[in-house]
């Protein structure tokens, strides 16, 4: 076994073993769930283990370099309008494709008694992400401190949470988390790191990260506004 694979193997054992052990310990000590459920959990843990191993290897040689190259190429080759259009489209399309958004839209359908249709919600969340990915890219390029943007966005969220119908508040916060799936995160992280790397001269760490964080505010604001409008 090559040493790099061995290293990954050890890393994944350390990732999955604790959770599996805790559930096994709980099972034998206090929980005693039915045998079938427990068996399925163990088989699931095996799948999760091998899946994690392949995923980590694949992301390191696939999604990460891809995102970094696109991110580094973007400010070199394209003008600001093209960069912003790309950022918006990326955020929008990734969100529409994200399966979690569908689950969310179903729950909103329930809470609003069908008044807010699934497509309306998906478009709202996707627009929120698209706009905030744009803002985040603009920030990296213009060198605006992230603290100002985050402070403004979250203060707006807090203010809106008092006007949003109570049923919508937890859903709105949840909407921020749905588009950060395991496919999107590595690519978007790498995209930011790539873009920041060609705009040298400032603190790279501060510019390289924050794209995912800023993008997740968009849908929170979007869903809250939707809730207010539909009250």
By CB under 8 A, what part of segment 185-214 binds other proteins? 185-187, 189-190, 193, 203-214
Q: Does 114 bind other proteins (CB under 8 A)?
A: no
Q: Assess contact for 186 and 59: CB atoms under 8 A.
A: yes
CB of 118 to other proteins, least distance (A): 16
List 5, 22, 85, 228, residue binding other proteins (CB under 8 A)? 22
On the CB side of 12, CA atoms within 13 Å amount to: 19
Residues 93-112 that bind other proteins (CB under 8 A): 93-94, 97-99, 107, 110-111
d(CA 2, CA 4): 6
Query: Which range of residues in 28-36, 117-125, 223-231 is near other proteins by CB under 8 A?
Result: 28-36
d(CA 195, CA 188): 11
Residue carrying the six token digits 């909407």: 175
Q: Assess contact for 160 and 222: CB atoms under 8 A.
A: no
Q: Does 50 bind other proteins (CB under 8 A)?
A: yes
List 28, 54, 80, 228, residue binding other proteins (CB under 8 A)? 54
Q: Does 51 bind other proteins (CB under 8 A)?
A: yes
What is the distance, to the nearest Å, from the Cα of residue 69 to the centroid of all Cα atoms in its chain? 20
Q: Assess contact for 104 and 171: CB atoms under 8 A.
A: yes
List 109, 173, 199, 225, residue binding other proteins (CB under 8 A)? 173
CB burial string 33-71: b at 16+ within 10 A, e below: eeeeeeeeeeeebeebbeebbebeeebeeebbebbbebb
Q: Does 30 bind other proteins (CB under 8 A)?
A: yes
Query: Which range of residues in 83-91, 117-125, 221-229 is near other proteins by CB under 8 A?
Result: 83-91
Query: Which range of residues in 117-125, 182-190, 223-231 is near other proteins by CB under 8 A?
Result: 182-190
CB neighbours (10 Å) of residue 215? 29
Q: How many chain residues are in contact with other proteins, going by CB under 8 A? A: 106
Q: Does 151 bind other proteins (CB under 8 A)?
A: yes
Query: Which range of residues in 38-46, 113-121, 223-231 is near other proteins by CB under 8 A?
Result: 38-46
Q: Assess contact for 18 and 52: CB atoms under 8 A.
A: no
Query: Which range of residues in 64-72, 112-120, 223-231 is near other proteins by CB under 8 A?
Result: 64-72
CB of 120 to other proteins, least distance (A): 19
């Amino acid at each position: 076994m090559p040493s790099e694979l061995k290293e990954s193997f050890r890393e994944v054992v350390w990732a999955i073993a604790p959770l599996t052990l805790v559930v096994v310990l709980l099972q034998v000590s206090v929980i005693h769930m039915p045998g079938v459920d427990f068996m399925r959990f163990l088989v699931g843990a095996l799948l999760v283990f091998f899946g994690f191993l392949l995923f980590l290897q694949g992301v390191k040689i696939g999604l990460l370099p891809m995102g970094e190259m696109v991110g580094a190429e973007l400010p070199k080759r394209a003008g600001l309008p093209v960069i912003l259009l790309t950022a918006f489209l990326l955020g929008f399309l990734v969100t529409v494709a994200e399966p979690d958004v569908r689950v969310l839209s179903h729950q909103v359908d329930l809470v609003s008694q069908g008044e807010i249709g699934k497509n309306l919600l998906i478009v709202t969340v996707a627009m929120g992400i698209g706009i905030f990915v744009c803002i985040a890219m603009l920030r990296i390029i213009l060198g605006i401190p992230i603290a100002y943007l985050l402070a403004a966005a979250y203060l707006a969220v807090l203010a809106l949470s008092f006007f949003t119908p109570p049923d919508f508040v937890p859903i709105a916060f949840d909407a921020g988390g749905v588009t950060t799936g395991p496919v999107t995160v590595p690519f978007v992280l790498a995209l930011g790191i790539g873009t920041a790397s060609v705009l040298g001269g400032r603190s790279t760490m501060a510019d390289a990260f924050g794209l995912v964080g800023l993008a997740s505010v968009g849908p929170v604001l979007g869903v809250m506004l939707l809730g207010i409008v539909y009250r």
